[in-house]
Structure 1
């Protein structure tokens, strides 16, 4: 399905895009960040928060299933009780948290091996239902989920008058 190179590339793309989103969002007032724009999670802040919540949930699941030294810090993070829980109520703290998540994701991606990717992941979802899925498929979901909601965030930023700039993954893929 996927290999180590895919995971490393997607972790890099994830960090790059989150940096761009938070840079653009930092130009907005708190009122504009919190304005309910009728997105899945209401505001731009709610959307950025949701991505961090979901990443936290998945990193904790990964840490439980595949002990890697990089994920030790993820194990200490509080487990959100719902996908719309606010981790922070202010932009600077959410931004710092996002940066720390991106560091963990990139370091863990670098540590993963193709053998790790062949493992399965046993976890309990947010509704309390046990799941057993191939890790490589779960990682595709993990990165696709981020991309999906970052697409929403770029739209919300555009509606607020902020241009995120180029967002295409192809930008990070080197020429041969």
Structure 2
């Protein structure tokens, strides 16, 4: 499998996982979503809003939008239902970006705004790898926090294998996405 194909699949997995987790969080009351919990960020609200904010920052770099760190100035924390909608829009942008990549485009350098460290050129494939790892890292924390509520955390690792196709089919259809087996 090419790296470009892997990133196309990873972008869809990212959208699927985010949606499953945010659908579960939408079943919580506002108080439960905002409640203080033990993790890197002290609530589901802060953790999942952080994931969205970092997505928007990295999408700006990948798309060479030029906003850089200033993107954080315009981001406000969202409640679970609005967060789900906004995250899905961000995930669709990431899917579109990944769908447009090939091996040559993945190896190109894009400027990344690192504040006091200035503009640092980074490879697109490295930025995507970091972004997906960041998402997985914080989704895992949110998943653990959700386990401490009345809502059971959803399964998030039934995506890439053909064996799991039946487990993800309804979700992917609802999101208007195809599964990894449809990508070539």
Shorter-chain TM-score range: 0.7 to 0.9
- Residue 133 of structure 1 deviates from its aligned partner by 2.0
Aligned partner of 2:160 in structure 1 is 172
Task: Show CA shifts across 1:113-154 (max 9, x none).
Answer: 111101012211255533122221121101000000000010
4+ runs deviating over 4 angstroms: none
Aligned partner of 2:63 in structure 1 is 63
The count of residues paired between Structure 1 and Structure 2 equals 161
- Residue 38 of structure 1 deviates from its aligned partner by 3.0
CA contact under 8 A between 1:44 and 1:157: conserved in structure 2? yes
Task: Show CA shifts across 1:88-109 (max 9, x none).
Answer: 3422221211111111111211
Task: Show CA shifts across 1:23-77 (max 9, x none).
Answer: 1101110000001113222110111100000000000111117xxxxxxxx97xx
Q: Which residues of structure 1 form unaligned runs of 5+?
A: 66-73
- Please tell me whether residue 114 in structure 1 is matched to residue 103 in structure 2: yes
Q: Which residues of structure 2 form unaligned runs of 5+?
A: 164-180
Cα distance in 2 for residues equivalent to 1:126 and 1:148: 23
Cα distance in 2 for residues equivalent to 1:145 and 1:106: 16
